[in-house]
Amino acid sequence: MIRFRITALIMALSIVLSACGGAAGGAGAPMKSIGEGEGEVAIIAWAGYIERGETDPAYDWVTEFEKTTSCKVTVKTAATSDEMVSLMNEGGFDLVTASGDASNRLIAGGKVQELNIDLIPSWKTIDERLQNSPWHTVDGKHYGIPYQWGPNVLMYNTEVFAEAPTSWDVTFEEMTLPDGQSNKGRVQAFDGPIFIADAALYLKHKNPELGIDNPYDLTKEQFDAVIELLKGQRTLVNRYWHDAFVQIDDFTNEGNVASGSWPFQVNMLQFATQPVASTIPVEGATGWADSTMLHVNAPHPNCAYMWLDWSLNPKLQGDLAAWFGSVPAVPAACQGNELLGDSGCATNGFNDFEKIWFWRTPTAECSTGKGGCIPYSEWVNSYIAVIGS
C-alpha cells in the first residue's frame, strides 16, 4: 500500500520558500583555530553514513574517533534532503551530510557557515573534481567538505530480469516484464520532488524533441511533459520510498522488482542473499555528491572540525565506500583498503563522474543564469499533486 508524505512535502515547500529569501551565504566569519573539544558532535546523516560497527563490526569509523578526541558522536538519520534542511532549520545539530539539492538551500538560507580549510589538513587529499564543486562552494568560499558520491541506480530482481534492464522504462511505462507479469504495483519511485529530475532524464532520451538538456533546468513545456509522465507512473507505483530500510524490506517481502535506489540498499540486499542487482540504464542516472556542512550556530564547533578532518582519512573513506557502494572523496582510499579492494572504486563508478547528473536545487535562473526555468518550489507543489492524486 502506498504511503503518502504530503505533510512532509508541504513542510519542504515552506523550507525552500524561506531559503530562497535568505542571505547569500552562512553568517559570520569562519573559525580561526580549533580549541578543546566540547565532548560531543551531533550529525545529521544519510542511513549508513556514520557507522560504529553495530550492524557489522568490520565497519566502524566512529569508535576510534571518540577514543582519540573524547568527542561522542550522536547521529540523526534523515531520509530525504528536505528532512535534512528542516532539521538544520530547527538547529541543535553541528554537521549534516548534505546532497546538492540541500546544500545550496542551506547556504542561501544562512544555516551553514563558511569553513576554514586551513584548519582541515586533509583538505589537500580531496579529489580535485570535488574541491570547488558548486554544491558547496559559493563565490570562492567553501561551506562543505566532500564526503562521498555516487549514482542513483536501477535496482532490479534478478529472478524477474535474467538480464539487466537497459532502460528506466520498466519503472515509468506500464509493460509486461520478462516473468510474464505486469509491472503495475511492482515498482517504486523516490519520495522526493528531486525525483522529477529522474523523469526528465528519461524523457531527455525518449523524447529528444522536447529539447531537454539539463534535467534540473526545465522550461514550462518540458516541465509539464515530465509531470504528465509522472502522473502515468503513479498508477504503477507500489510505494514512494524514502526510508532505505523500508525499501530493503519491500524488495525482500513485498514483491517489488524494480526501482531507483542507492547502492547501499543493493549492498544490504545482496549481503542478505536476496536476488537483486543494479545497473545504470542507457538514459544515464542522476546522483549525489554529498558534503559535510557545519551549522552556523553549531553547539560543538571544535569537535565538529575534528570530525571534518577525520572524515577524510583514507581508511574511513574506503570502508564507507565499501559499505555504501559509493565513491570516496579521497582517491587515496581506492588503494590498499581490505574491505573495498583495489577494484572497488572502479566498480562503484570512480570513472563515471562526468556521466552523472548530480542533485542540485532547481532555480528560476537556471544553472546558466539565463532564466526561464521552473524553480524548486514548483517542483514541490507539482510532486505533491502527483503522489496525492
Determine the pLDDT at residue 162.
96
d(CA 23, CA 26): 7
* Element at 373 (helix H, strand E): none
According to CATH, the superfamily of the domain at 151-286+364-388 is Periplasmic binding protein-like II (3.40.190.10)
d(CA 304, CA 309): 9
Q: In percent, how much of the chain has pLDDT > 90? A: 90
Determine the pLDDT at residue 112.
98
pLDDT of residue 313 exceeding 50, the answer is yes
Per-residue pLDDT band for 1 (boundaries 50, 70, 90) equals very low
Which has the minimum average pLDDT: 21-25, 151-155, 262-266?
21-25
The C-alpha cell at 53 is: 560497527
Query: What pLDDT digit, counting tens, does each position of 235-272 carry?
Result: 999 999 999 999 999 999 999 999 999 999 999 999 99
Determine the pLDDT at residue 355.
87
How many CB atoms within 10 Å of residue 27? 13
pLDDT of residue 15 exceeding 60, the answer is no
pLDDT of residue 16 exceeding 90, the answer is no
Distances in whole angstroms, Cα of residue 94 to Cα of each of 97, 214, 296, 319: 11, 33, 8, 23
What integer is the mean pLDDT of 21-43? 78
* Residue carrying the nine cell digits 546544500: 103
Determine the pLDDT at residue 26.
46
Which has the minimum average pLDDT: 17-31, 35-49, 174-188, 254-268?
17-31
Determine the pLDDT at residue 20.
41
**Average pLDDT along the chain:** 92
Query: What pLDDT digit, counting tens, does each position of 328-376 carry?
Result: 999 999 999 999 999 999 999 999 898 899 999 999 999 999 999 999 9
What integer is the mean pLDDT of 154-176? 98
**What top-level class would CATH report for the domain 21-147+289-353?**
alpha beta
pLDDT of residue 123 exceeding 90, the answer is yes
Domain ranges of the chain: 21-147+289-353, 151-286+364-388
Alpha helices by DSSP H, listed for the chain, are: 6-20, 63-69, 81-90, 100-108, 128-131, 169-172, 196-206, 220-234, 244-253, 263-271, 301-310, 314-324, 344-348, 376-388
pLDDT of residue 4 exceeding 80, the answer is no
* Residue carrying the nine cell digits 559559493: 138
Determine the pLDDT at residue 27.
53
Which has the minimum average pLDDT: 15-19, 80-84, 93-97, 133-137?
15-19
Per-residue pLDDT band for 156 (boundaries 50, 70, 90) equals very high
Q: What is the CA radius of gyration of the chain?
A: 20
Determine the pLDDT at residue 113.
97
Q: What is the pTM of this model?
A: 0.86
What integer is the mean pLDDT of 3-13? 42
Same fold, 21-147+289-353 and 151-286+364-388: yes
